[in-house]
Amino acid sequence: MAVIQKEIRLVGSKGKREELALFDSGATYSCLRPDIARELGNVENLPEPREFGTAKEGEKAIAKERVGLDFYIDGYRFSDEFMIIQDLSEPVIIGTATLQKWRMKLDFENDEVIIDPRVTKLRLLCGIRRWQNCRGSIPEPVRACPDENQGTGLLNPKNILKAGLMNQAPTINQAPTINQAPTTRWSEATERG
């Protein structure tokens, strides 16, 4: 287990705050003290409490609540849920779930958090579905154009027009009802891919 400390900016629905965060490769989840969580965001109860081991043998920490926050490191925005833990030794702990989610690496020789800026760009890859005949067909996902020279994929209206999708999306009156839903059997659907 190794740790690095770095200044981050926490941002929630209620406010923002600078804190010295502990990036801990031995912590499973990111954690936050209750006073900071309530100051910054809307706290949510966990479905059931979660127990965490601590550095002290035989001692456990229990989280009953969580909060979703954005946080900034060197100007790059990240987001995750933070487990709220009473009597936390540090104001903020960034755990391995967050590190892995955002592909952050800890450089212990230089005491740095290494960030890949490419993972901070939000992308919509497959958000629009079209129906081929609106009856008896399986919805087909429409993917963003892999050619980077053609813009940002589905969100670019030029790509929608180029793909010929503008007039193919069903309106509410054309969308199939439950009675018109495709009746394709599972084996046929899996054979098609």
Answer whether 71's CB lies under 8 Å from 37's CB: no
pLDDT band at 3 (very low <50, low <70, confident <90, very high): confident
> Does residue 187 carry a pLDDT above 70?
no
Query: pLDDT tens digits, residue range 128-183?
Result: 444 444 444 444 444 444 444 444 444 455 544 455 444 444 444 444 444 444 44
Q: Which residue has the tokens 């007039």?
A: 167
Q: What six digits make up the tokens of 64?
A: 């009953």
Question: Higher confidence at residue 110 or residue 1?
Answer: 110
Could you tell me which CATH class the domain 3-120 is placed in? mainly beta
Closest by CA to 37, choosing from 74, 4, 65, 2, is 65
Average pLDDT over residues 93-101: 95
> What is the domain partition of the chain in residue ranges?
3-120, 123-174
Beta bridge partners of 137: none
- pLDDT, residue 123, reads 59
